[in-house]
Amino acid sequence: MIPINVSPGTREQFVQNIIAAWQSATPEQQHDGRVWYRTAHELAAMMTDGNPRAGAGVIAALSANKSWPENVRLARQACEAGLTSGHFTDALHKTAQIMAGADPEDVLPMERKTGQFFRLIANPGDPDAVVIDRHAHDVAVGETYGQRDRGLSSAGRYALLAHCFREAALRLGELPSTVQAVTWVAHTERIAGTSTRGPRRTT
């Protein structure tokens, strides 16, 4: 795991790694990243008959350790018929609370990945929120960690990487979420060797 307290030089290297990943994105990857959260917002609204905030909360609550297609499948099931299995007990409990009418901000850890994911799906134009998942970590660090522990449950480590994405975004003149999404698309396609598109509407 990277240290929580890094030198200014290391922090700058993380920012430069993010900028390099941004610059390596193809035009198609740029497009896919730019529309990622807007498309997820539309999907959240469609799942909940026009309540994207609740839909975003359900998607975020069920996002931990799940691929995007599996995340969507579970969220659809939760919205349509309820969900009693297929995820950690805590995630299922949070999902049930949101489906019962609780405000996602009162249920989700707002300073961590799931809370930030909710914020951006609910409001793709959020100027500050940024999702730090395993891919964002690897983009910033400049190394693919695979199955190694990244330590993202640490608030300090999460805040460090979020700051680096915000700094890179400031220099690029973009929203932090846009930089994260574009670099996510480029990075996941590179490591997979196949197309890893953003959220699509499914029927």
Residue 199 lies in a domain: no
If pLDDT is split at 50, 70 and 90, which confidence band does 199 have?
low
Please tell me the predicted confidence (pLDDT) of residue 87: 95
Please tell me the predicted confidence (pLDDT) of residue 11: 98
Q: For the segment 147-160, what is each residue's pLDDT rounded down to a tens digit?
A: 999 999 999 999 99
Structural domain that includes position 73: 8-192
Residue 34 lies in a domain: yes
- Specify whether the CB–CB gap between 135 and 153 falls below 8 A: no
- Specify whether the CB–CB gap between 157 and 1 falls below 8 A: yes
Q: For the segment 73-87, what is each residue's pLDDT rounded down to a tens digit?
A: 999 999 999 998 999
Residue 35 lies in a domain: yes
Residue 84 lies in a domain: yes
Residue 202 lies in a domain: no
Q: Position 1: which residue type? A: M
Please tell me the predicted confidence (pLDDT) of residue 201: 38
Residue 180 lies in a domain: yes
Q: Position 189: which residue type? A: E
Residue 38 lies in a domain: yes
Residue 198 lies in a domain: no
Q: For the segment 165-187, what is each residue's pLDDT rounded down to a tens digit?
A: 999 999 999 999 999 999 999 99
Q: Is the pLDDT of residue 200 over 50?
A: no
**Domain total in the chain:** 1
Q: Is the pLDDT of residue 198 over 60?
A: no
Please tell me the predicted confidence (pLDDT) of residue 116: 97
Q: For the segment 102-155, what is each residue's pLDDT rounded down to a tens digit?
A: 999 999 999 999 999 999 999 999 999 999 999 999 999 999 999 999 999 999
Average pLDDT over residues 82-96: 94
